[in-house]
Amino acid sequence: DAGITQSPRHKVTETGTPVTLRCHQTENHRYMYWYRQDPGHGLRLIHYSYGVKDTDKGEVSDGYSVSRSKTEDFLLTLESATSSQTSVYFCAISESRYGNGGEQFFGPGTRLTVL
Amino acid sequence: GENVEQHPSTLSVQEGDSAVIKCTYSDSASNYFPWYKQELGKGPQLIIDIRSNVGEKKDQRIAVTLNKTAKHFSLHITETQPEDSAVYFCAAIWGDKSTFGDGTTLTVKP
């Protein structure tokens, strides 16, 4: 998986609790992305980063925040988890901008269950 | 925003047959169209992609065609093998915006 790790790989939490997912890369790629994948659906972009401390929203950003203090780490935080945020979360990285044909490499995913 | 429709949602073929998956998109600004293969429990993996200034691209048994006028692009897999069984996703990209199709579950029967 192109030097991408996600932690934790599985998490069960309760409604209302804060949750942080971590994506770590060893490729020194500039761009990092967080997606969620729900059963029977494709990936939907939550947030992305185009550099340290530079982030922007995707199509489903409500209820999520991100931070990137180092090139290699991109954190996704659910401030107060809800059952609708039960999903599989994928991190991706790319060396150049996705729209310019920068190939995205995906991590192994984190399965989050909110009870 | 962009809307991507992918068909069929499931596809079953005999080993050695060809498989075709089609995606249509709505935003003419989209200019990059990757295809991903996702095996159970893993992240998606890029298998082929095409830019808007190209009509067709091939890589061994896999090809992608793009019709910009009709706003659709297709994945073609020839001589299918059991290891091609997986979920395939298309995507339409413009800038940093990405929209994925809902996926096609391909089953190749030996």
Q: What is the mean predicted confidence (pLDDT) over A60-89? A: 97
Residue B49 and residue A107: Cβ atoms within 8 Å? Answer: no
Residue A41 pLDDT: 81
- Residue B27 reports pLDDT greater than 80: yes
Q: What is the mean predicted confidence (pLDDT) over B86-102? A: 91
Residues A49-69 pLDDT 10s: 999 999 999 989 999 999 999
Q: What is the mean predicted confidence (pLDDT) over B36-64? A: 93
- Residue A12 reports pLDDT greater than 70: yes
All residues of chain B having their beta carbon less than 8 Å from the beta carbon of residue A60 are none
Pick the residue with more confidence: B48 or B96? B48
Distance from CA of B10 to the nearest CA of A (A): 11
Task: Label residue A39 by pLDDT band (50, 70, 90).
Answer: confident
Distance from CA of A6 to the nearest CA of B (A): 11
Of B41, B89, B94, the CB nearest to A42: B89
Residue B54 pLDDT: 85
Q: What is the mean pLDDT of chain A?
A: 93
- Residue B106 reports pLDDT greater than 70: yes
Residue A42 and residue B100: Cβ atoms within 8 Å? Answer: yes
- DSSP summary character for residue B83: G
Q: What is the mean predicted confidence (pLDDT) over A20-48? A: 94
Greatest pairwise CA separation for chain A in angstroms: 40
All residues of chain B having their beta carbon less than 8 Å from the beta carbon of residue A43 are 44, 89, 91, 98, 100
Token pair belonging to B26: 């709505």
- The answer to whether B46 contacts chain A (CB < 8 Å) is yes
Q: Where are the beta strands (DSSP E) in chain B?
A: 4-7, 10-14, 19-25, 32-38, 45-51, 56-59, 62-67, 72-77, 86-94, 97-100, 104-109
Residue A98 and residue B1: Cβ atoms within 8 Å? Answer: no
- Residue A21 reports pLDDT greater than 60: yes
- The answer to whether A56 contacts chain B (CB < 8 Å) is yes
